[in-house]
Amino acid sequence: MAERTSRMEPGGAARVAENPSGAGAEPPAVREPPIAGRGLRSDARHNRRRIMEAARAAFAERGIDVPMVAIARRAGVGPATLYRRFPTRETLVAEVFADEMAECAGLVAEALADPDPWHAFCTVLTEVCAMQAADKGFTEAFLAAFPDSDGFDERRVHVEHGLDELIRRAKESGRLRADFAREDIVLVLLANGGIVTSDPETTRAASRRLVAHMLRSFESAGDSGELPPVPPIGLGQLYRLPGD
């Protein structure tokens, strides 16, 4: 059996010395070298998350035309870093609103399963306008074209086809007026997007009432019930100068 002796290294660490033959010696522990780029990948993920959060907030407040430099500044990164992650505005917008587009597609899919065509139509229009009221940039993204995005345009076309089917069913039920067209939904979204107040809850309340008015005008006959409450808005509340 190999003879083992101990001696103290500087600093107090004990070291076991083997005999020259090496018999019975344990192999030295091998330390794995650091993986190249691990820190860089972590930094890249962090920067991407910050850019997405900054862009989402900026688009919600000001729409999708916010300068890319302003988004980079808000995210605390340089413009080069932003463009390295998102080469064009379209790729950034499509990525930011991918979840909203998926939610919109889900709303349409659920509505198509509703046995009441008029209820299905009203639900989709109300919910999509509520999404728009909560996020100014959503409808701009929905109405824009992003041919280079990863599936964004395809999903939007799928939503449009679903809306066409909802419109057809609502007309056949006799509740939706015969001269209604898909373009009228665009008009509703444009009008709803123009609601600007100093308070998010007031904006949502105003949106609900506007949509209720629109749905009444779209109905071929009958009374669709009471309108939502009047929101607390006046002409002096509609616009605020920056910094007010």
For residue 177, the one-letter residue type is R
Q: Are 109 and 103 in contact (CB under 8 A)?
A: no
Six token digits for residue 159 = 């939503």
Q: Are 98 and 152 in contact (CB under 8 A)?
A: yes
Give residue-wise pLDDT tens across range 100-118: 888 889 999 999 999 999 9
Give residue-wise pLDDT tens across range 164-202: 999 999 999 999 998 898 888 888 988 998 887 878 889
